[in-house]
Amino acid sequence: MKKKILTLLLAASMTAALLAGCGSGDGKEKGDTKTEASDKEQDGKTLVYGSGDYTNINPALYEHGEINSLIFAGLTAHDAEDKVVPALAESWEWDEASKTYTFYLRKDVKFHDGETFTSADVKFTLDTIMDPDNASEIASNYEDITSIETPDDSTVKITLTAPNVAMLDYLTIGILPKHLLEGKDIVTDDFNRNPVGCGPYKLVSWDEGQSITLEKFDDFYLGAPKIDKVVFKIVEDTQARALQLKSGELDLAQITPKDAEQFENADGFVVDIMKTADYRGILYNFGSEFFGKHRELPNILSYAIDRQSIVDSVLLGHGETAYSPLQMGPYNNSDIEKYEYDPEKAKQLLEENGWTMGSDGYYEKDGEQLAFTISNGQGDQVRIDMSNICAQNFQDIGVNCKVEVVAETDWANQDAYLIGWGSPFDPDDHTYKVFGTDKGANYSSYSNAKVDELLQQARELETQEERLPLYKEFQTELSKDLPYTFIAYIDAMYVSKDNITGLTKDTVLGHHGVGIFWNIYDWDITE
């Protein structure tokens, strides 16, 4: 029952946090601009951010969501160049013989409720993630951990089955307060609506569907932030975000390239076009009857997609065509098959695999039409636009493909989905848990023994020199047996008022443009 509850909660949370963007425009964005401006002055320096909605905030269960980095802090953190740096841990050591990391914790760290952060909180957080009853979507990141010891309040020893340099990336996960959650059902506890961490900002109010208000934490271990309040204002529709940027109701928002055009030469605004490791693709559900039976189709259909047209028309050139999940980093294999646009080749391969053109203009095989639906979550117009172009490309070669927008994502019972993934960090991130058999984020039910073997081997090696051949081979194997049709990497388009300082414009962002707030404690608002 617990797993079922989490699945429902996670679906809701991911639908909101993952798919925030262009929604229904149902009139939620109300408010008197003058009143809001007056309130901001009274509250000191306030940053209002146009955000997608949240249903739960808990980094141990739900990976997605920009707000986690404001409320919580991890043992490690990422800097402007996405490198691992100390955070709640001042330093650490690695012992090869015992395969043990020893972390030495800061002794001056407080949770937002005033309680002292200790090694027991670290152990509690990792145990929570690894507990299968909690069905955390990131559990596979930590499955190499064999033991966690806390010899004293400021020391943590984490022993692994094998070396895994990605572990330092994964320990950026926000630490939970044991004293508030011990003995409780973490999946359903009210903590997920009233989170307490030791990050730079603490939650002070949550107006469901409207806003989440955070206040600076004066006892933050790096010092009190310069901005007094950060308000995550829920504005799902990107066009509405653009309007509210213009009216002064928002100070910062991520919007679509089409919506960002109007700000490029506008006084008082800055448009930051930021590179990401964030790609979009068509996920095929191999757990479904159709794609489970026709495993040849993903590779064939990938030739039918005009990726450059999508980059040009949907992203307005702010992105690049995709062929690999590791394309935007040093582990990329540029020599693999890229499935460049070739509709005639797609038709040829269909016919070679026993598909014949029916009288209705669609391919069929053994009396079954080549027909499926690409599902999209509500609130992301870019994905919907991409799906519509892909569907038309498929229709053009004789595939009866349709597009649907759903309120909740049903991973088990859909044909295909316009997915998004990507990470600028260690290559293990968003590969092992996404493409590994039965891993937590493998929503396509993809299974390839060779891919599993290569990903396992690669995560157990320490140097880039050792790992690079394995990740290159992984990409080769993946290209031979595609889980997705990779479409495009997207740039993140952030529009902000020109009086906001501290944003690092060259930082490569992650999935959904997450990462812009990595140094929020250093941001400021000038007069």
Whether 48 maps to a domain, the answer reads: no
Whether 354 maps to a domain, the answer reads: yes
Strands (E), 311-449: 319-321, 356-357, 363-365, 368-369, 371-377, 400-406, 416-421
Q: What percent of the chain has pLDDT over 70?
A: 92
Predicted local confidence at residue 143, as pLDDT: 94
For residue 42, what pLDDT band results from cuts at 50, 70 and 90? low
Q: What percent of the chain has pLDDT over 90?
A: 85
Whether 64 maps to a domain, the answer reads: no
What gap in Å lies between CA 196 and CA 191, rounded to an integer?
A: 8
What gap in Å lies between CA 370 and CA 361, rounded to an integer?
A: 11
Helix ranges (H only) for 404-495 are: 432-435, 449-459, 464-480
For residue 380, what pLDDT band results from cuts at 50, 70 and 90? confident
For residue 364, what pLDDT band results from cuts at 50, 70 and 90? very high
Range of the domain at 388: 279-490
Cβ contacts of residue 435 below 8 Å, gap of 6+?
325, 442, 446, 448, 451, 455, 478, 483
Q: Where residue 466 sits, what CATH number does that domain have?
A: 3.10.105.10
The residue whose two tokens read 């395969």 is 99
Whether 360 maps to a domain, the answer reads: yes
Whether 453 maps to a domain, the answer reads: yes
For residue 192, what pLDDT band results from cuts at 50, 70 and 90? very high
> Would the pLDDT of 8 be above 50?
no
Predicted local confidence at residue 43, as pLDDT: 63
Question: Quick check: 46 and 92 in contact, CB under 8 A?
Answer: no
What gap in Å lies between CA 517 and CA 69, rounded to an integer?
A: 7
Q: Note the pLDDT tens digit of each residue in 314-358.
A: 999 999 999 999 999 999 999 999 999 999 999 999 999 999 999
Whether 400 maps to a domain, the answer reads: yes
Three-point CA angle 214, 252, 417, nearest 5°: 95
Question: Quick check: 73 and 87 in contact, CB under 8 A?
Answer: yes
State how far the alpha carbon of 224 is from the alpha carbons of 52, 71, 199, 230, in Å.
26, 13, 10, 13
Q: Note the pLDDT tens digit of each residue in 62-77.
A: 877 899 999 999 999 9
- 122-126, 185-189, 457-461, 509-513: lowest mean pLDDT where? 509-513
**CB-facing half-sphere around the CA of 273: CA atoms within 13 A:** 14
Whether 193 maps to a domain, the answer reads: no
Predicted local confidence at residue 230, as pLDDT: 98
For residue 440, what pLDDT band results from cuts at 50, 70 and 90? confident
User: How many distinct structural domains can be found in the chain?
Assistant: 1
> Would the pLDDT of 138 be above 60?
yes
Whether 119 maps to a domain, the answer reads: no
Q: Note the pLDDT tens digit of each residue in 148-172.
A: 999 999 999 999 999 998 999 999 9
> Would the pLDDT of 221 be above 90?
yes
